[in-house]
A = this chain, B = another copy of it.
């Protein structure tokens, strides 16, 4: 691989200086972002927000797993290797992120060791966040009591059992907790977190870099958009999963 030319490097340095000079932008930092990996997580729940968070120069994203050190975690994409175990969590946590999953999340909701870890890390995290059914994990760890929160539309009502107030929105902020709706909502969450940590100008740049000008082909991304027939169908298809989550 050829190195970039010196000319290009110089130009890039100029551009970095320019971006850093925008009124509200923090160009570099050392944020500690902690993501909980677990068997059966939905890869897009993880990769959506990760893409934005990892774009913050100087930030460190820890992918921590409850399993044995070094052992890859099975996701719906296949195997992803964590960067460490739960004991690899830094003392200072700027963002805790719990992605969702299917039956793997249900298993997590029955794992007292992990729930205690989430509670402990959540206690000291500056921001506590989740995507999709990840909010149920926050709830089971006792982090959502009295808070407004969202989840995948299929599981939003389950938030009540944890003392949370379910809100039908894509991203819900109730400091210090930020929850995102199903799967693809993690992309929106990631950009909001970058705006918060590095300023709106930085997040706008990340949004352009990710070319996030979506054109959902079917326009059926929420129950309201999809209509009752398709929504009922999906409720039926997902009934075993929702029942598994409910019975934890």
Contacts and interface: CB of A to CB of B under 8 A. Distances in A.
Given A72-B81, A76-B51, A78-B80, A2 B207 contact: no
A39 to B, nearest CB: 10
Given A47-B43, A214-B221, A222-B211, A239 B15 contact: yes
Given A107-B1, A187-B184, A237 B15 contact: yes
Given A16-B237, A43-B50, A216 B207 contact: yes
A33 interface: no
B203 A218 contact: yes
Interface stretch (A121-129, A139-147, A224-232): A224-232
A156 to B, nearest CB: 10
B63 A243 contact: no
A34 to B, nearest CB: 14
Given A51-B43, A76-B51, A76-B54, A208 B237 contact: no
24 contacts: A1-B244, A3-B244, A8-B240, A8-B243, A15-B234, A19-B233, A43-B50, A43-B51, A47-B47, A51-B76, A170-B215, A184-B212, A185-B211, A188-B214, A195-B217, A201-B230, A204-B218, A204-B226, A205-B234, A207-B226, A208-B225, A212-B216, A213-B216, A214-B214
